[in-house]
Amino acid sequence: MLARRYEMPWRRAYESYAALVWTLAFVLILIQTASGRLPGLLAAPMGLGCLCAAWLRGTQALRILVVRASLTGRAMQVIGPREVERVTGDLKSVYLGQGFEWQPVHSQRLYELAKIDYRDHLVSPVLLTLLGYRADPQPDAEIGLPYIHGVEPQEAAVSRPLQNFEGGTLLVGTTQSGKGVALATLITQAVRRGDVVIVIDPKNSHRLRRVVQWACERYRDPDTFLEFHPAFPEKGVRLDFTFNWQKPTEVSSRIQAIMPPDTAGAFSAFGWDAVNVVVQGLVELEERPNLLRLTRYIEGGIEPILLATLRRHYATQLGPGWRETPDMRRLLQEPQRTGQRRPSEATTAELMALVSYYELHVPEAQRTKTIDAQVRTFRHDREHYQKITANLLPVLSMLTSGDLGRTLSPDPFDAADTRPIMNLEKIEQAGHVLYLCVDALPDPSVASAIGALALADLAARAGMRYNLGAHRRIALFVDEVSNVINLPLIEILNKGAEGGIHTTCAMQTLADLARRLGSQDAARMVLGNLNNLIALRTKDGPTQEFVVETFGRTAIHSVRVGMSHGADVHLGDFSSTYSTQLAESFEEAVPADILGKLPNLHYFASISGGRRIKGRFQIIDPDLEGSHAPKP
């Protein structure tokens, strides 16, 4: 049984010699029959037997030659709008380029190629053309080894049902390996399906942005496309990531998500509490929290909010004449007699009096937790308060400086600013496509904060959708995920699919993610939430190990040949042995070193719970007139 399963295509097509001999025998029989030297009754079965044998051996030889000819690989391919619409016509499937399903036979061929120089077995691509196959060999100048894709001579359009991608997709590849092209292919299909699309791009890829904008213009209303760029705020939209919430504490949790982590968690917890006090106070005053207001009251002090809240509370509990009550009038007229030191320079005599009245004369039943928290913050030592919020203020300052502050904390009453004001709820309801560039190259700290805040808002939106039963599909694409990953994104990966958010994350190496999360185990835990893997060329060892583990192992056959001979002292005593052994062992379905030799745009993928695919993406060029063309 093993002998029938084993093959060795990387050799000379010896079957062609046998086919030639059988053909000559057939011709000779025809000649002998025509000359009358061979009876027809005898010539017919002989000729038919020779012809069948020639056809059988010729077919075997051609099969070997075709497989060898495919070792030249496939060149990069550029496709235009017509070809895009043809290959992505089925909106219930996801198109993954051209390729084939990776079977054990392909692993076997790849392992055999590792023992030889593949260039010794190349066949002219003209042979493929003559046999009806499309010949488009990979130029020698391109990166990567062509024979990896050439272990299968026939490729076809690769697509999988849309439901297979609900568990999330990881796209991994080194610099310039084709992650942007892969994302462009997936995003174009999401736009064409009518999904709400959110793209977080840390580096502002002009090619990716151009393809996304073109897809919106071709398949949707041009106004569907929205963009955000911190360096060019005048071109994009204003985004309010604190607009939508069901509970005020959600705003505090979003701010906590962008704070730098601390070991004990005390600073992070106090930062959450500081933000929550301000948020609760603003809500009590019927003002909508935003980043500018939060920064102002956390940095400058809680005094303005506390003063307005106490005035409102006394007017509600004591009536319009609350200032004329005896105890209140006495405190307002002689606040210095309380003997209390002002916590800050911003504290007025009126505020000291109102706080004293609240602490001394308001019964427990009339107090509120909101005011209690504000008074506690008010009484807190100002110097200690500034120290314990030291990791919160820099983050808020980054998001509220200059034009960025007016962009992320939009003022709807500013008539001079005509940029649209958007939030994730409006984007979802209108079916927009948001291209969010966080500009990580010149300003990585601000980029990380913007991306993390957007993901925190989206995670809250996912929970809201889950609670309300909203199921409009949202396609989230995060490039260079190590720049922006935080706890909300992990929650989206864990539970977002149930809320209709389907995520595709792209990264370069496992080490980048491990550095962001603190350990390789934490990085692997996060990646375990992504059911599908698309691996382009990667050179990092731990990343290769992770990919190889995902693809699993397969049976590989190897032939061992033994030969021995000997002679005795007696004349004629000679012995010789020759043995062939076919062994089987389980090896990686895709060797780790092969991942570092993939050409650009080529990938290995594990889709649908273990279905292995070898494929290659095509470059989408919106300006290409023809249906497809090779890359120059």
Express each pLDDT in 40-68 by its tens digit. Answer: 788 888 989 999 999 999 888 888 888 88
**Contact status, residue 134 vs residue 470, Cβ threshold 8 Å:** no
Instruction: Return the structure tokens found at 73.
Output: 């690989």
Q: Which residues of 299-310 are buried (b: 16+ CB within 10 A; e: fewer)?
A: eebbbbbbbebb
pLDDT for position 190: 95
Distance of CA 553 to the CA centre of its chain: 25
Mean confidence (pLDDT) of the chain: 86
Which range among 3-17, 153-167, 459-473 shows the weakest confidence by mean pLDDT?
Answer: 3-17
How far apart (Å, rounded) are the C-alpha atoms in residues 626 and 12?
40
Number of other CB atoms surrounding residue 553 within 10 Å: 14
Who contacts 251 (Cβ-Cβ below 8 Å, separation ≥6)? 242, 245, 275, 276, 279, 289, 294
- Percent of the chain surpassing pLDDT 70: 92
Express each pLDDT in 537-557 by its tens digit. Answer: 999 999 999 999 989 888 888
pLDDT > 60? residue 575? yes
Task: Give the closest residue to 579 by CA, choosing from 560, 555, 603, 553.
Answer: 560
Segment 585-595 shows an average pLDDT of: 89
Which range among 235-249, 305-319, 382-396 shows the weakest confidence by mean pLDDT?
Answer: 382-396
pLDDT for position 627: 45
pLDDT > 50? residue 628? no
**Contact status, residue 306 vs residue 358, Cβ threshold 8 Å:** no
pLDDT for position 625: 64
Where does the pLDDT of residue 291 fall: very low under 50, low under 70, confident under 90, or very high at 90 and above? very high
Instruction: Indicate the pTM of the whole model.
Output: 0.86
Q: What are phi and psi of 178, to 5 degrees?
A: 120, 15
pLDDT > 60? residue 250? yes
- Percent of the chain surpassing pLDDT 90: 35
Which range among 29-38, 264-273, 276-285, 606-615 shows the weakest confidence by mean pLDDT?
Answer: 264-273
Instruction: Return the structure tokens found at 475.
Output: 């396609």
How far apart (Å, rounded) are the C-alpha atoms in residues 235 and 229?
8
Instruction: Return the structure tokens found at 559.
Output: 């032939």
Where does the pLDDT of residue 2 fall: very low under 50, low under 70, confident under 90, or very high at 90 and above? very low
Which range among 319-333, 399-413, 473-487, 562-576 shows the weakest confidence by mean pLDDT?
Answer: 562-576
Segment 556-576 shows an average pLDDT of: 71
Express each pLDDT in 117-171 by its tens digit. Answer: 888 887 776 776 776 666 678 888 888 899 899 888 888 999 999 988 888 899 9
pLDDT for position 384: 79
Where does the pLDDT of residue 570 fall: very low under 50, low under 70, confident under 90, or very high at 90 and above? low
Segment 310-316 shows an average pLDDT of: 92
Instruction: Return the structure tokens found at 325.
Output: 């009550």
Which of 274-283, 441-450, 480-489: highest mean pLDDT?
Answer: 274-283
Segment 437-443 shows an average pLDDT of: 85
Express each pLDDT in 168-187 by its tens digit. Answer: 899 999 988 999 999 999 99
Segment 298-310 shows an average pLDDT of: 90
Q: Is 318 exposed, middle or buried (0-12, 13-18, 19+ CB in 10 A)?
A: middle
How far apart (Å, rounded) are the C-alpha atoms in residues 357 and 332?
9
Segment 491-497 shows an average pLDDT of: 85
pLDDT for position 629: 47
Where does the pLDDT of residue 263 fall: very low under 50, low under 70, confident under 90, or very high at 90 and above? low
How is residue 537 annotated by DSSP? Answer: -
DSSP string, 87-142: HT--TTEEEEEEEEE--HHHHHHHHHHTTS-GGGG---THHHHHTTPPP-PPPTTS
How far apart (Å, rounded) are the C-alpha atoms in residues 622 and 82?
10
Q: Which residues of 514-549 are buried (b: 16+ CB within 10 A; e: fewer)?
A: bebbeeeeebbebbebbbbbbbbbbbbeebbebbbe
Q: For the CA atoms of 389, 394, 395, 398, what is the dihedral angle to 10 degrees? A: 150
